[in-house]
Structure 1
Amino acid sequence: MSLADQLKVLIVDDTTTSRMLVRDGLQEIGIKNISFASDGEQGLKHIMSTPTHLVISDFNMPKLDGLGLLRAMRQHAPSQKMPFIMLTGKGDKDLIQKGVQFGMNNYLTKPFTVPALKTALEAVVGRLK
């Protein structure tokens, strides 16, 4: 069984269209076990209650943004080392630097391509197939 078959991914984004685009890209590269949250608070609840291997989160969300989610994850034992990929609509160097400070593993600028998504994932979790 490949890593793609086993990987449990949580997509956190307040925009349904964005969640579906990420889901479609993940499915195209063979990842099938995908969960969703529409903001950072829901994402954190999911992470604390459901086994998850990787989080792909938008930065700009209501309630708890991507950096807030990342900081909260790094304060709880089950998610301290969980791989985290940030999605951003802009290549904001300050945001990326803050993300790295808080333990972000990688980032993707929207819009992204499926090969870019696969490369970002493999840089964090290893070869998928």
Structure 2
Amino acid sequence: MQENSLDQQIQAVRQCISELTREAPADPRDLLRAAENLAAAATRVEEERQQLRDLIWSSPDAFVATDAGGRIIDANPAAASLLGEPLPGTLLAACCHPDAQPDIARMLADLRAGHPPCGVLSPRRAT
């Protein structure tokens, strides 16, 4: 998924900021050029992030985002329709079939370890 690419770009922007703060150029024009390049990179990252969000939001597939504790913080309309309830603040485990609990635990462990979790889960109720 593109999320990894976005994370890499964000990390590159952060690294660039860090380098700029360590190495202030002698010529103020160099600093201005670096700031312009940084602003352009930040704009590109934000545009790509918005494109990804638009893609997920309009997808017919259900997508949810959780915090490390498994509480849903965002969900696209397909997820809300599939699960038939307000999702933000709800525990993912409460929305999924009991057989999915080991998969949820694995995904949350991946998330806490800094790895992108991914998986397919069955809803608690049939659609």
TM-score (norm: length of structure 2): 0.27
Bigger-Rg structure (1/2)? 2
Q: Higher RCO, 1 or 2 (CA under 8 Å, sep at least 6)?
A: 1
TM-score (norm: length of structure 1): 0.26
